[in-house]
């Protein structure tokens, strides 16, 4: 199984581990990530304005590239996933945006939202299957209590991202179980970490971070996992010194391919 | 075009759907940092009282986390109203909230590109 792969800007620089362990794990699980050529940054946040086209073009170019290859478009970073899935939804449902974007892009044939966008976690659940994944675990993470942190971008808006129940998700808890560890469910797992405010208002982000991490710590976790480089940046400075890992690192460790 | 019309056009939101339950503000992670809260954005746009919003720091506290969008029982999508007011402010010449020359003092060695991209998209045109 081959997927068109959109790594995004941060996976090429500050979050190389998220990318590297995903690639190693994919090989171990028998699927291939074919990085699309000349991808451009998604912009990090979904452009909500109905009258903006320019900020949506990089996503549309990536979506169209996957379409030309006849492949699903796989994302890994929560932000890329959120932006590209939401822009794809615009191309499927908003005639005005679709028309104006295609007028500008002048592709060989118009892009009408044909590509399916999947997050790496969705591939693990829906293509590989957690039962199959479990069979390939050579180094079960026995006794580890892991708190999955979804944050905001992975799940919302639920009606567009259609990844999991946005208020009571279980995709990462199911992954944690498949890896042989124990999931820790806690109230703040799908509340925002403070996101991009950490440039402009570091105090506000510190408050958010401590609320999230203390909630996880209260429910007895040893560590936390995330799919988002910005959540990682914000959460890892926590006062409780709870370690935070990319989910792909623990996946690679359990599959015995962590280098 | 007046400001109200402009904001409604950019956001695509029907503010009249709001039933003033306040759930958007109750669930907002930036509530404590805001002078005007999400439900007030919706009401003030509805009544055309937009000038106070345009000059408020609250514009730059919304995290676009979609909590209000997800949880609004009427599908109003308050975050899109906040975004539209913010764009109406920063699309004016010289009105960028984040300037590139100020970035070096705001970052450290671990700052992910994602943070800079997101902040520039939210704060500057």
Residues B67, B21 share a domain: yes
pLDDT of residue A259: 79
Determine if the pTM surpasses 0.80: yes
Q: What would the mean pLDDT of A69-80 be, rounded to a whole number?
A: 98
**pLDDT digit string (tens) for B33-49?**
999 999 999 999 999 99
**pLDDT digit string (tens) for A229-241?**
999 999 999 999 9
Q: What would the mean pLDDT of A14-26 be, rounded to a whole number?
A: 98
Band of pLDDT at residue A198, cut at 50, 70 and 90: very high
The rounded mean pLDDT for chain A is 97
**Which of A17, A18, A49 to mutate to test binding with chain B, by most B CBs within 10 Å of its CB?**
A49
Report yes or no: B86 and A201 within 8 Å, Cβ to Cβ: no
B14/A contact by beta carbon, under 8 A = no
Distance CA A142, CA A165 (A): 27
**pLDDT digit string (tens) for B54-112?**
999 999 999 999 999 999 999 999 999 999 999 999 999 999 999 999 999 999 999 99
Report yes or no: A223 and A243 within 8 Å, Cβ to Cβ: yes
Query: Is the pLDDT assigned to residue A86 strictly greater than 90?
Result: yes
A45 and B118 within 8 Å at the Cβ level: the answer is yes
Residues B121, B78 share a domain: no
- Total domains in chain B come to 2
Instruction: Indicate the domain borders of chain A.
Output: 2-120, 137-255
User: Chain B contacts of A167, Cβ < 8 Å?
Assistant: 70
Query: Is the pLDDT assigned to residue A168 strictly greater than 90?
Result: yes
Residues B30, B82 share a domain: yes
B10/A contact by beta carbon, under 8 A = yes
Distance CA B7, CA A219 (A): 43
Residues B41, B88 share a domain: yes
B121 and A233 within 8 Å at the Cβ level: the answer is no
Q: What would the mean pLDDT of A98-122 be, rounded to a whole number?
A: 98
Which CATH code of 3.30.300.10, 3.40.50.20, 3.40.50.1860, 3.40.50.920 fits the domain covering A137-255? 3.40.50.1860
Report yes or no: A113 and A73 within 8 Å, Cβ to Cβ: no
Q: Which residue has the tokens 């590239």?
A: A65
For residue B33, what is the nearest residue in chain A, using CA coordinates? A204
A96/B contact by beta carbon, under 8 A = no
Query: Is the pLDDT assigned to residue A222 strictly greater than 90?
Result: yes
Q: What would the mean pLDDT of A95-112 be, rounded to a whole number?
A: 98
CA distance B96 to chain A (A): 13
Q: What is the CATH number of domain A2-120?
A: 1.20.1050.140
Q: What are phi and psi of A168, to 5 degrees?
A: -140, 65
B116/A contact by beta carbon, under 8 A = yes
Least Cα distance to A158 among A185, A190, A134 occurs for: A190
ipTM surpassing 0.90: yes
A157/B contact by beta carbon, under 8 A = yes
Distance CA A123, CA A112 (A): 23
Residue range(s) defining the domain that contains residue B45: 3-92
Q: Cα–Cα–Cα angle for B54, B60, B63, nearest 5°?
A: 130
Q: Which residues contact B81 (CB under 8 A, 6 or more apart)?
A: B7, B11, B13, B15, B38, B41, B42, B45
Residues B31, B81 share a domain: yes
Neighbours of A135 (CB within 10 A): 9
For residue A200, what is the nearest residue in chain B, using CA coordinates? B106
Band of pLDDT at residue A85, cut at 50, 70 and 90: very high
Residues B16, B46 share a domain: yes
């Amino acid at each position: 199984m081959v997927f068109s792969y959109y790594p995004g800007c941060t996976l090429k620089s500050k979050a190389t581990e998220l990318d590297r362990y995903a690639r190693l794990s994919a090989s171990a699980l028998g699927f291939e990530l074919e990085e699309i050529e000349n991808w451009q940054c998604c912009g990090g946040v979904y452009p909500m304005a109905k009258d903006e086209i320019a900020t949506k073009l990089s996503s549309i170019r990536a979506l169209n590239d996957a379409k030309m290859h006849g492949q699903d478009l796989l994302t890994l970073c929560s932000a890329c996933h959120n932006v590209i899935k939401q822009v794809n939804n615009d191309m499927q449902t908003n005639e005005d945006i679709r028309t104006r974007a295609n007028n500008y892009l002048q592709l060989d044939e118009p892009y009408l939202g044909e590509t399916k966008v999947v997050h790496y976690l969705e591939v693990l659940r829906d293509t590989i299957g957690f039962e199959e994944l479990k069979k390939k675990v050579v180094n079960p993470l026995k006794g580890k209590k892991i708190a999955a942190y979804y944050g905001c971008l992975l799940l919302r808006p639920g009606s567009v991202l259609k990844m999991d129940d946005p208020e009571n998700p279980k995709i990462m808890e199911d992954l944690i179980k498949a890896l042989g560890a124990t999931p820790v469910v806690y109230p703040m797992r799908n509340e925002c970490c403070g996101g991009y405010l950490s440039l402009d208002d570091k105090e506000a982000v510190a408050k958010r971070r401590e609320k999230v991490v203390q909630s996880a710590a209260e429910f007895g976790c040893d560590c936390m996992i995330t799919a988002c480089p910005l959540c990682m940046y914000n959460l890892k400075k926590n006062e409780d010194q709870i370690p935070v890992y990319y989910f792909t690192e623990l996946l690679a460790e359990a599959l015995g391919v962590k280098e | 075009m007046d400001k109200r019309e402009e904001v409604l056009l950019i956001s695509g939101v029907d503010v009249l759907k709001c039933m003033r339950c306040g759930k958007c503000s109750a669930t907002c992670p930036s509530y404590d940092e805001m002078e005007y809260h999400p439900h007030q954005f919706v009401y003030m746009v509805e009544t055309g009282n937009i000038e106070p919003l345009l000059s408020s720091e609250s514009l730059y506290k919304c995290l676009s986390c979609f909590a209000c969008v997800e949880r609004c029982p009427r599908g109003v999508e308050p975050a899109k109203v906040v975004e539209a007011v913010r764009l109406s402010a920063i699309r004016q010449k010289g009105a960028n909230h984040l300037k590139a020359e100020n970035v070096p003092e705001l970052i450290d060695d671990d700052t992910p590109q994602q943070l800079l991209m997101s902040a520039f998209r939210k704060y500057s045109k």
